[in-house]
Amino acid sequence: MTTLKITKKHHKHFNNPFPSTPASLPLIQGNLLFNSQTVPSHQHFSIGKDFQLSWSSNNGGSLSIYHQSQPKRAIWSTIPGQAFVSAALAETEVEESRGSFVVKDRKLHLVCHHQTILDIRVIDQFDHSLEAQDQDSPSGFLDLDQKTDSKGTQFPMVLVTGWVFNMRRKKKHSHKYGTLENAQFEGKGPSTCARYWVLFEQKNSNQIGFQVKLGQPNFEFRTKASPAASGRYKGFRRRLGQFQKRRLRWFWSSARPRGFGFVSSSEEELEELKAEEFKEFNRVCLTYSSEENERFYGFGEQFSHMDFKGKRVPILVQEQGIGRGDQPITFAANLISYRAGGDWSTTYAPSPFYMTSKMRSLYLEGYDYSIFDLTKQDRVQIQIHGNSVEGRILHGTSPSELIECFTETIGRPPKLPDWIISGAVVGMQGGTESVRHIWNELKTYNAPISAFWLQDWVGQRETLVGSQLWWNWEVDSIRYTGWQQLIKDLSVQHIKVMTYCNPCLAPCHEKPNRRRNLFEEAKKLDILVKDKLGEPYMVPNTAFDVGMLDLTHPDTASWFKQNLQEMVDDGVRGWMADFGEGLPVDATLYSGEDPISAHNKYPELWAQINREFVDEWKANRVGKEEEDPEEALVFFMRAGFRDSPKWGMLFWEGDQMVSWQTHDGIKSAVVGLLSSGISGYAFNHSDIGGYCAVNLPFINYRRSEELFLRWMELNAFTTVFRTHEGNKPSCNSQFYSNDRTLFHFARFAKIYKAWKFYRVQLVQEAAQKGLPVCRHLFLHYPDDEHVHSLSYHQFLVGTEILVVPVLDKGKNNVKAYFPTGESCTWQHIWTGKHFRRQGVEATVEAPIGCPAVFVKTGSIVGETFLKNLIDLKVL
């Protein structure tokens, strides 16, 4: 039976410019019951050696988890008297259009929203009698035999078991404290029940792992008398005892439930389904408590908000959208291409991770689509598209500790090469002569340059939407004549060359000077993603279609690394590894895995291939460092997921609009920088000036000179200082447009260079602890309530530099907030004025060229930075 529908919207024109919010599963609420004969009224259970789980029957029963170092502060707890595990069966539709995805719940067939606890069991070691005691447990669920042999397993573990169920309500009855008096609850679909298992185990000294798994739905429940629970749940206990005797065969699979299938958009709508025909649930929900004033941060790279309390946060990799709610561009984008405008939640790099102002933190493992529902003040509900969920609960006493704890598991980036953080990365196009011309101009301004990033190295072609790159990853010898000589000449001056590639390949039969046709090579090797007919899946991309590399195929990595090797052999030392967010959700992969889960995993696999090549190249240079100690590779990318910081070396924020607007302009670049930093993306930056320009009769977005200058001021205090001409260079102000822009560019490249000594320290710290270079003030001032209201307004570089950028057109001053929490004075770098009062705002002049930047008075970092500014003749 089919529960998933895929609808393609690639070629749909003249769409609704104001698309409705996708229908989704409502927040599920139910009651918690427990068996007093097997579940004591109050008890503490050790989890490993550092954690404990506490059960209390008060107010209907609840669970709480504590770290032994803070036995009175719960890091996770359920809501008294309310279910914390629930299950559902729903039909899903995924609409797809050119890298944008919308997941809709079309029909809800079944909800098991009530929950019982039959037993809370301590597991000290694997006991073969365990399966005999719980014969309905799914095979391989606990993997206890493997855990016993694993050196990393820390006993004891705690297993909570019981049932989720629903019942129709015939009349109202009261209930209290987990005891039901002749109650019959109303549920969606037929009366049903299913077993569940929740396992808690210590992963390390600061992490608890959890697993939630569901058994098969039991529809025989509806044929019996309603399971009224009298006293402490006796009636319901008898009902479940009858079901257990039937010995249903429960099973567990980490893939998408087998009930999923695919139908095309041309097929008719599904008829009324009989829930009994399904063998598994396809939704599992985990619900637990939150405090009303608790703020939620993280969720990957988010561009519109820092605090997500009150919102539903979907976790799905996709295009961020054009406008994301800013008008009128979102209206136009949605009108022309289905949902191309995106919204506040669309992002290239989400992560199922958060931390809160109460120092609570949790993340999900795996790659299933999920939604974090934070709309209720007293709870969190995570809805997972699947019949199981695994994750971890983190312990830390500060935001920095939580980031360190999180990245200890998911991974941290390597230390960046020194050259990439030494000066400006000049992003430009045009060919060899254009590069040499701009290089000569920059010499006259004494601008510190690290590299030229030349994305058009592969050549350009004219299409219906303008000039676009040939997606065939080899140098265009006509556009870049003397390519190797250009690289050598730049290298003599310690300037690197960077290029561009992505995991897609375009047919290039029409390209006159191609040496290879990578699309045809990949097709012959059978390493392209396939459609349901077994043919290469041609994915629409603006004016042409492309094939995507199947990164699950064992031959893909070695083949693509050969292409990177040819590029590096020419002398290239860095590249943009673009895209990664557009794997179709109905694709057929070599691995056979579910394409919806693989969709979120794809950008990690893309990063992994690039990273492996970098590491292999470095390993092959052992003993050759004396030839050129500056030789090192780096790549940067935009798409990502939870574990991307482990594989990616450097990130950039994608394609912001060339605007002052909030959701997709310069302000969003700051929010993305800070939210991603909380989520483990230690090294991030944006295109200086933004990327996306629009030149239509009634809608005009062009990069103004003022915007461009202010964006330079902003990015001079990020990890990498890199320009981009944008999608329409002729419409945009460029750093080479006139003397003023060239002078400003050189000035802020020098300012960027002036704090390199500190940047080196922060890069090292990020590699060791996962802390970002650019930080929201929450990371170091979590007890300052005003800090929680800050979004794009200001940020810290490390702990010693405070930046308050100008992000509004025509503004020449800003309001700077000086946080409470430590006795320090902030010194304005341009005037030397000291700001001693804490917890106050001050209006600070910030004319173009002198943004509001402060250092801690008397700090070594501050004094060195100021000295360097003087030496570089900036101050």
* Distance (Å, whole) CA 261 – CA 2: 5
- DSSP-assigned letter for residue 536: B
Q: Work out the pLDDT band at 12, boundaries 50, 70, 90.
A: confident
Check whether 132 has a pLDDT greater than 90: no
Q: CA–CA separation, 359 vs 376, rounded Å?
A: 19
What confidence score (pLDDT) does residue 187 get?
A: 53
Contact call for residues 167 and 192 (beta carbons, < 8 A): no
What is the distance between the alpha carbons of residues 812 and 610, in angstroms, rounded to a whole number? 43
Q: Name the residue among 821, 837, 875 with its Cα closest to residue 853.
A: 875
Q: How confident is the model at residue 622 (pLDDT cuts 50, 70, 90)?
A: confident
User: pLDDT of 345-373, one tens digit each?
Assistant: 999 999 999 999 999 999 999 999 999 99
Dihedral of the alpha carbons of 212, 217, 220, 223, in degrees to the nearest 10: 90
Rounded CA-CA distance 676/302 in Å is 7
Write the pLDDT tens digit of every residue in 162-210: 999 997 554 443 333 333 333 333 455 568 999 999 999 999 999 999 9
Catalytic pick among 581, 594, 643, 713: 581
Give me the mean pLDDT over the 712-725 stretch: 98
CB 664 within 8 A of CB 754: no
Quote the pLDDT of residue 696: 87
Instruction: Compute the half-sphere exposure of residue 399: CA atoms within 13 Å on the CB side of its CA.
Output: 25
At 776, list the tokens. Answer: 């929201």
What's the token pair of residue 37? 């004969």
Could you tell me which of 671, 596, 630, 654 has the C-alpha nearest to residue 491?
A: 630
Residue 9 has a pLDDT of 85
Cα 190 to Cα 83, 84, 89, 273, distances in angstroms? 19, 21, 12, 12
Identify the helix (H) or strand (E) that includes residue 378.
none
Side-chain-side CA neighbours of 281 within 13 Å: the count stands at: 35
Q: How sure is the predictor about 823, in pLDDT bands with cuts at 50, 70 and 90?
A: confident
Closest Cα to residue 551, out of 586, 577, 515, 589?
A: 589
Residue pair 629/571 in contact (Cβ under 8 Å)? The answer is: no
- Residue appearing with tokens 């025909």: 277
Cα 175 from Cα 31, distance rounded (Å)? 9
- Residue 97 has what pLDDT? 93
Q: Which of 307, 319, 474, 578 is catalytic?
A: 578
pLDDT recorded at residue 261: 30
Angle at which helices 705-715 and 739-754 cross, to 10°: 10
Percent of the chain predicted with pLDDT > 90: 80
Q: Give percent of the chain with pLDDT exceeding 70.
A: 87
Asked whether residue 506 carries a pLDDT value surpassing 90, the answer given is: yes
Collapse the DSSP code of 597 into the 3-class scheme (helix H, G, I; strand E, B; otherwise coil) and give the result: helix
Task: Give every CB contact of residue 97 below 8 A, 6+ residues apart in sequence.
Answer: 8, 9, 10, 12, 337, 338, 339, 340
Residue 630: what pLDDT?
78
Task: Determine the pLDDT at residue 624.
Answer: 74
Please give the Cα distance from 531 to 589 (Å, whole number): 9
What six digits make up the tokens of 390? 């695994």
Higher-confidence position of 583 and 462: 583
Query: What are the φ/ψ torsions at residue 398 (nearest 5 degrees)?
Result: -150, 160
Token pair, residue 683, equals 């090294």
Q: Is 845 left (phi over 0), alpha (psi -120 to 50) or beta?
A: beta
Q: In 3D, which of 287, 290, 291, 240 has the Cα closest to residue 32? A: 287
The helix (H) or strand (E) run that includes residue 419 is none
pTM over 0.85: yes
Structure tokens at 73: 């502060």
pLDDT in tens, 224-276: 333 333 333 454 444 444 444 333 222 222 233 333 333 333 332 333 345 55
Going by their DSSP bridges, the two strands 100-112 and 634-637 should be labelled as unpaired
Identify which of 80, 79, 107, 77 has the alpha carbon closest to the alpha carbon of residue 93: 107
Q: E-assigned strands of 345-490?
A: 350-356, 361-364, 370-373, 379-385, 388-394, 424-427, 449-453, 460-463, 466-469
* pLDDT (mean) for 491-518: 96
**Would you tell me the crossing angle of helices 739-754 and 860-871 to the nearest 10 degrees?**
140
Dihedral angle computed from the Cα positions of residues 851, 856, 858 and 860, in that order, rounded to the nearest 10 degrees: -90
CATH topology classification for 418-772: TIM Barrel (3.20.20)
Task: For residue 226, give every residue at least 6 positions away whose Cβ sits within 8 Å of its Cβ, in sequence order, or none.
Answer: 167, 168, 170, 184, 191
The whole-number average pLDDT for the span 607-617 is 98
pLDDT of the residue at 443: 97
CA quadruple 691, 696, 699, 704: dihedral sign: positive
Contact between 865 and 845 under an 8 Å Cβ cutoff? The reply is no
The predicted structure's pLDDT at residue 228: 34
Instruction: Specify the pLDDT at position 807.
Output: 98
CB–CB of 229/183 below 8 Å?
yes
**Ordered alpha helix ranges (H), 679-813:** 705-715, 739-754, 756-769
Per-residue model confidence as pLDDT tens digits over 278-308: 789 999 999 999 999 999 999 999 999 999 9
Helix (H, G, I), strand (E, B) or coil at 333: helix
The percent helix, strand, coil of the chain (3-state, each to 5) is: 25, 30, 45
pLDDT of 148 reads 45
Helices marked H in 445-579: 483-492, 518-525, 556-569
Structure token pair of residue 433:
């002569």
Q: Is 655 known to be catalytic?
A: yes
Nearest-10 Cα torsion for 594, 638, 787, 75: 30
Residue 231 has phi, psi (to 5 degrees) of 55, -125
- DSSP code, position 188: S
151 pLDDT higher than 60: no
Residue-averaged pLDDT of the chain: 89
Strand extents, DSSP E, 761-866: 774-775, 795-797, 801-804, 813-818, 826-828, 834-835, 840-845, 852-856
Encoded amino acid at 401, one letter: E
What is the bridge-based pairing of β-strands 100-112 and 85-97?
antiparallel
Rounded distance between C-alpha atoms, residue 579 and residue 471, angstroms: 12
pLDDT (tens digit per residue) in 673-697: 999 999 999 999 999 999 999 998 8
Alpha-carbon dihedral angle through residues 457, 459, 463, 466, given to the nearest 10 degrees: 50
Token pair of 417, please? 């090469």
Cβ burial, residue 633 (10 Å; 0-12/13-18/19+): buried
**Single-letter amino acid code for the residue at 848:** I
What phi and psi values does residue 569 have, to the nearest 5 degrees? -60, -30
3-state secondary structure (DSSP) of residue 169: coil
Domain boundaries, the chain: 21-290+387-408, 418-772
Residue 844 has pLDDT above 90, yes or no: yes
Do the Cβ atoms of 644 and 636 come closer than 8 Å? no
pLDDT at 418: 97
Mean pLDDT calculated for residue range 440-463: 96
The predicted pLDDT at position 3 comes to: 77
Look up residue 107 and give its amino acid: K
Annotated catalytic residue within 655, 664, 713, 784: 655
Beta bridge partners of 54: 44, 64
